[in-house]
Amino acid sequence: ALSEEDIKSAKEWLETEKVWLMHRGGFSEAHLLKSENTVLPEGRVRVRLESGDVIEVDEDDVEKANPPQFDKAEDLAVLRYLNESSALHTIRQRYAASLIHTYAGRYLIVVNPVQQLPIYSDKIIQMLKGCKQEDMPPHIYSKAQVVYRDMLNSRKDQSLVFMGKSGSGKTVNAQHVLHYLVMAAGCSNGALTVVKLNSVFTILSAFGNSRTSLNVSASRFTQIFTVDFDSAGQIGSASVQALMLERSRVVRRPDNEHNFNVFYQLLAGADSSLRNDLQLHNLNEANLFMTTLHKPEEKEKAVESWLQLLEAFGNLNVTEAEVKSIMAVLAAIYHLGTAGAIRGGSNKAQFAKPSAAQRAAAILGTSVEELSRSIFSTGGTTTLSRTASLRVSNALDRPAYLPSDANATALECLEGFVMGLYADVFSAVVSLINRALSSSVRAINSVTIVDCPGFQSSGAGVSSSSRSQGASFEDLCHNYTQERLQAFFHEVALSTPQDLYEEENIILDFDIMPSSPSSLINLLDKPPQQGLMRSSAADLKTVEKKGLLWILDEEAMFPGATEDSFMERLLQQHCEHPVRKDSLLRKGSLGHTFVLNHNQGMTPILYNAQGWLKCCRENPISRNASLVLQDSKKSSISQLFSSVKAQSSGAVSGTTVGSESSASVRRVNSMRRPSTSGQAGLKRKSVCLQVKFNVDTIMDILKKTQVHFIHCVLPHHFAGLGEQQKLPQDDCILNVPLVRNQLRGFEVLDALRLYRLGFPDSLPFTDFVNKFEPLVPGLSKTGHGEGDLKLTVNMILDHLDIDKLNYRVGNSRVFFRPGCLAQLELNRDEKFTGIVGQFQALCRGYLGRKKLEKLKVQHTAIRCIQRNVRKYMQNREWEWWRLYTKAEVELLKAKNEKLEKERAEYKTQCDKLENRLAEVSAELAEENTTSSEAADLLETETAERMKLEKDLRELQNKFTVLKRQHEKLQMEMMQTQLWQAESVDDSLEEKEDNSAYKRKYEQVSKELQITKKQLQHQHEEEIDQELQSRKLIERKLHDAVGEAEEQRRQVQVAKKKTQRLTAEMQDLKLHLEEQMSRNNELERKQRRFDSELSVAHEDAREEKALREKLQKEKDELLLEKYSLDQTLQYTQMEQQSSTEKCARLEKEINDLLQTGKDNSE
């Protein structure tokens, strides 16, 4: 109940009408003024700021504020007025108090704290372990507990997706989730421990992260971490899948950005022995791929990270030889960067510094001639086998588009070889990680954590950005992945619930339907519907639009294509005319630049397409890297990379190798996506389109699980760099415009509004009846049909006395408001607690009796053992007995050795057969894919051939008609020439006789000239009139376009106003429903109290009547007692009198006797 002070403060707050005034810099607190005496224009209101100034603003810039008690609300769903400013105010207030986590219904918002906070400890894990979501504060551990609890309750695989900009803390939060799962679930076999988990992230951060302009340690690959659980809910094994590694960063990194972290750690932290082995003595030479660290603090940090990396390898049981082999390849990459490549004599490619190349060859275990031949010779690529090792990123086996590499420069060949080396190193590292995390425990369920690189902007908000000229193709790939994840969130949070409501005939007042990210996704990856052919510029307008990735792939395929042709096709197919600010695609100000409006139009990113065709053409030299490593003369290098190649055969990437559990094998098989569609089958090996197929694989994995989302928010532009000193004074806590754009792009508030207005918790009729039937005593199912189940559900709901505003009954499911189902489960748990207590008492009694019986049996057994021991003590010195015991031990030992040998042989055969089975399965999958591709290609070619034959027949018929017309015209022309010749001859012969005709002819000619001039003048006048009419029409068209734009703007304003009013109406309706539900609850409590009070009054009346009756009986008994006391007293007096009389008589008798005795004497 509210106190009088709370009621008074609430009334005062309502009277002040506090609002938020939105502006470019964020929002400000204000008070809405009523316009009683002044008349304001339509759509304008007057507000008073906190400074006292009164201003007139647009009503669309004003949003209602919530009471002060909601300033630090743990869940945005409890806000009375749900709007952007109120949500931002709550997040900012919590962030200022170091509360970085906020619930948004089912989802969690995490703001990057920039600095370390003491909120992650084992004590907090123990506090949250086993709790429900409604009992836990917003925390990343709470979300992990919800995921783990849902997995145990539903026995369904779970997944957790992290979304946000680069530098928002996605990888750190993923590590916290895994840390909680390890601590809360435990691991019986030690496959995944906290030490191993930290070691895994240390290694992945070294080999897959780098410093960028937006993040001090940005992930440059997509990682999928899967944790398998056994039937007891404990961790059985784990695996890591790595996709879309940005391997081009090894050779071409943006200006002022670093290469992968492991290179700097190796160069700064290697000891003298390792430096001698890797020949890393002179680090001052110029290097194409990286520069050494110069700042002392950076070197110290690199040395510390190097020691942590070595310790991490040791924790994962990676041998010293394997670590040294990996570092040898990294050192070889460094030496190749020093060696460089040039065109020497006779235009032959060679190393610029042969001494550095010699060092690289020695480290790799090959000769410099063989190394040079592998890098600069194009013929070596033909020796690759069909089942060559698949890469972590986009380096899949695909025939080069160019007929040969003759056009490739020497430096491009070197870059391709180095990228192949690093891809193999990364595959080997991930395989070693999976080997350490694998086990033979049978997995029942799993939790999959997806961590993708965040949105890569083109330097917005960073004054000295290296990407000011535009984002790269790799940035486009990462941004495309985030767009697909956002589209999946839109489907799960908005589309699917509304489709379910419509299917179940649940009427829901939710008219606000936000725009879907599918339009931008179609712009990027929409596949063509026709056969693969290059269209001319004239046909571009008639050809159906293709996605950017498909256009880029086609341009990369054909020789002679340039970035100009790519930009021309892209802009002609997807650029709107006229271009608006909110257009998905618009041309940039520079040459090959364009802008894409990512993240629901909230993140416009400038891209620079210069060099994209080169990135999307496969470099065949990359294939030679794995061959060089496998054929290395150093056994440690060849064994390591040969095993990685053998284990990763047939998978999408070599990142899942090393996992031996059945669940891991299942996931590896799920990663094989043999595309059966024509275009997908043809393009499965496309370097440029591989990102689409990899993201499709991620989506397939997520769709098979129950998905949870965590939205990571970047508080300001420098948060990823861990810098706060550069911030302006207004942004010291939170950059409100930046956070507002992120929330809009996430669609969190739209999903939250649907969550509040809808019924997010639902159960099928069967599950609901089975779960809550025990709460209704004496209830039995009336049948098994849907109608009978629905009747049973309604009976249960009526008996539980739930407010009808809090649930809806559909065709096959029952839906509940947030929190209602949790309350029912709490009531169910409370009832089951008493039943379980009684059951435990019975079990304890039963176990006690069984224990007694067991003790009796043990007592008998002890006596038997003692008797046998006594006999053994008598016979142990017998020679034959001693011989028998020795011989039996030797026989058992021999038998055991034989069994162990057979077991080892069977295991070896089993391993060979499993390897053979894996190879055959991979070959079968490849053959199936090839056959399906061939069939699709044949079908496409057949359709194309039939179309061309039809076109040929039509052209032949048309040619025949034209030929006949041509012949006819030729005949007519010859006849006309003949007539003219005859007329000329006749005129010459009759010249003298036809002077009159001549004069007439001259007169007619003059008239003809005059007529021509008149017609020409008339034609010029008509042209002038047409030009004037055209100008008039163009002016009208321009006015019409302006009017259309104005109407569009007015429609947008009206739509925005309608959405705002609808949202406020829905908030008020929801608040009214909450009040009605609360009133109904209070009425039920009042009725329950009145009923209990009437029962108490009735009991009091009965008690009073009984008391009066007892009082009457008491009085009667008292009266009877008084009568009996009088009688007793009279009887006692009589008895006393009789006693005295008897005593007197006895005394008299005695006196008489004494007297008689005396007389006798």
In this structure, of 299-313, 1016-1030, 1062-1076, 1121-1135, the range with the lowest mean pLDDT score is 1062-1076
**Highest-confidence range of 274-288, 417-431, 608-622, 869-883, by mean pLDDT?**
417-431
Measure the CA angle with vertex 584, ends 581 and 588; round to 5°: 65
In this structure, of 348-352, 787-791, 1064-1068, 1087-1091, the range with the lowest mean pLDDT score is 1064-1068
Among candidate residues 949, 974, 1007, the one where a domain is terminated: 949
Mean pLDDT of 741-754: 91
In this structure, of 691-695, 707-711, 795-799, 1064-1068, the range with the lowest mean pLDDT score is 1064-1068
Q: Residue 835 falls within a domain, yes or no?
A: yes
Amino acid at site 1074: E
Give CA–CA dist 126/109, Å, rounded: 23
Asked if residue 168 belongs to a known ligand binding site, the reply is yes
Nearest to 1061 by CA among 63, 86, 24, 89: 63
Tens digits of per-residue pLDDT, 888-928? 888 999 999 999 999 988 988 888 888 788 888 878 877 88
Nearest to 301 by CA among 218, 211, 239, 238: 211
Residues whose CB falls within 8 Å of the CB of residue 419, separated by 6 or more in sequence, listed in order:
247, 248, 250, 251, 395, 619, 622, 625
pLDDT at 780: 60
Tokens encoding 710: 């965590």
Tens digits of per-residue pLDDT, 130-169? 898 888 999 999 999 999 999 999 899 999 999 999 888 9
Please give the mean pLDDT across all residues of the chain. Answer: 82
Mean pLDDT of 420-430: 94
Mean pLDDT of 998-1011: 75
Q: Residue 1044 falls within a domain, yes or no?
A: no
Tokens encoding 409: 């420069």
Q: Residue 90 falls within a domain, yes or no?
A: no
Asked if 503 and 612 sit in the same domain, the reply is yes
pLDDT at 381: 39
Taking the whole predicted model, whether its pTM rises above 0.85 is answered as: no
Asked if 804 and 891 sit in the same domain, the reply is no
Tens digits of per-residue pLDDT, 226-247? 999 998 899 999 999 999 999 8
Can you say how many angstroms the Cα of residue 812 is from the centroid of all Cα atoms in its chain? 30
Give CA–CA dist 533/679, Å, rounded: 12
Give CA–CA dist 570/552, Å, rounded: 9
pLDDT at 538: 42
pLDDT at 978: 66
Mean pLDDT of 408-420: 86
Q: Residue 112 falls within a domain, yes or no?
A: no
Nearest to 743 by CA among 110, 17, 130: 110
Q: Residue 469 falls within a domain, yes or no?
A: no
pLDDT at 989: 56
Sign of the dihedral defined by the CA atoms of residues 944, 950, 954, 959, in that order = positive
Nearest to 86 by CA among 64, 105, 68, 109: 64
Asked if 781 and 880 sit in the same domain, the reply is no
Asked if 547 and 504 sit in the same domain, the reply is yes
pLDDT at 330: 94
pLDDT at 1004: 73
611-627 in b/e form (b: 16+ CB < 10 A) is ebbbbbbbbbbbbbbbb
Mean pLDDT of 687-698: 87
Q: 441 falls in which pLDDT band (50, 70, 90)?
A: confident
Q: Position of tokens 């339509």?
A: 42
pLDDT at 865: 93
Percent of residues, the chain, with pLDDT higher than 90: 29
What is the extent of the structural domain holding 895? 876-949
pLDDT at 785: 54
Sheet strands side by side (includes 54-58): 54-58, 44-49, 26-33, 18-23, 62-64
Give CA–CA dist 165/336, Å, rounded: 35
Amino acid at site 424: D
Q: Using an 8 Å Cβ cutoff, are 660 and 439 in contact?
A: yes
pLDDT at 460 over 50: no
Q: 573 falls in which pLDDT band (50, 70, 90)?
A: confident
Among candidate residues 573, 597, 616, the one where a domain is terminated: 616
Domain count along the chain: 5
Residues whose CB falls within 8 Å of the CB of residue 77, separated by 6 or more in sequence, listed in order:
103, 104, 105, 752, 755, 756, 818
Asked if 512 and 546 sit in the same domain, the reply is yes
Asked if 494 and 609 sit in the same domain, the reply is yes
Mean pLDDT of 120-133: 91
pLDDT at 332: 93
Asked if residue 166 belongs to a known ligand binding site, the reply is yes
pLDDT at 993 over 70: no
Instruction: Compute CA distances 630 → 278, 459, 634, whole Å.
Output: 19, 42, 9
In this structure, of 313-317, 778-782, 941-945, the range with the lowest mean pLDDT score is 778-782
Asked if 520 and 570 sit in the same domain, the reply is yes
Asked if 531 and 570 sit in the same domain, the reply is yes
Asked if 896 and 795 sit in the same domain, the reply is no
Mean pLDDT of 815-829: 88
Among candidate residues 42, 65, 88, the one where a domain is terminated: 65
pLDDT at 885 over 90: no
Q: Prior bond to 254 cis, omega within 30?
A: no
1027-1041 in b/e form (b: 16+ CB < 10 A) is eeeeeeeeeeeeeee
Count of other CB atoms within 10 angstroms of residue 781: 13
Q: Residue 559 falls within a domain, yes or no?
A: yes
Mean pLDDT of 735-758: 91
Q: Using an 8 Å Cβ cutoff, are 208 and 242 in contact?
A: yes
- Read off φ and ψ for residue 737, nearest 5 degrees: -60, -40
Q: Using an 8 Å Cβ cutoff, are 467 and 459 in contact?
A: yes
CATH code where residue 61 lies: 2.30.30.360
Asked if 911 and 853 sit in the same domain, the reply is no
Asked if residue 171 belongs to a known ligand binding site, the reply is yes
**Highest-confidence range of 29-38, 385-394, 756-765, 1149-1158, by mean pLDDT?**
756-765
Asked if 544 and 570 sit in the same domain, the reply is yes
Asked if residue 542 belongs to a known ligand binding site, the reply is no
pLDDT at 465 over 70: no
Mean pLDDT of 1082-1089: 78
Pairing of strands 706-713, 107-111: parallel
Which 3 state secondary structure label does DSSP give 807?
strand
Q: 199 falls in which pLDDT band (50, 70, 90)?
A: very high
Q: Residue 908 falls within a domain, yes or no?
A: yes
Q: Residue 906 falls within a domain, yes or no?
A: yes
Can you say how many angstroms the Cα of residue 24 is from the centroid of all Cα atoms in its chain? 31
Asked if residue 165 belongs to a known ligand binding site, the reply is yes
Tens digits of per-residue pLDDT, 70-115? 889 999 999 988 899 999 999 999 999 999 999 999 999 999 998 8
Asked if 853 and 908 sit in the same domain, the reply is no
Q: Position of tokens 């090839």?
A: 930
Q: 981 falls in which pLDDT band (50, 70, 90)?
A: low
Comparing 136 with 785, which gets the higher pLDDT? Answer: 136
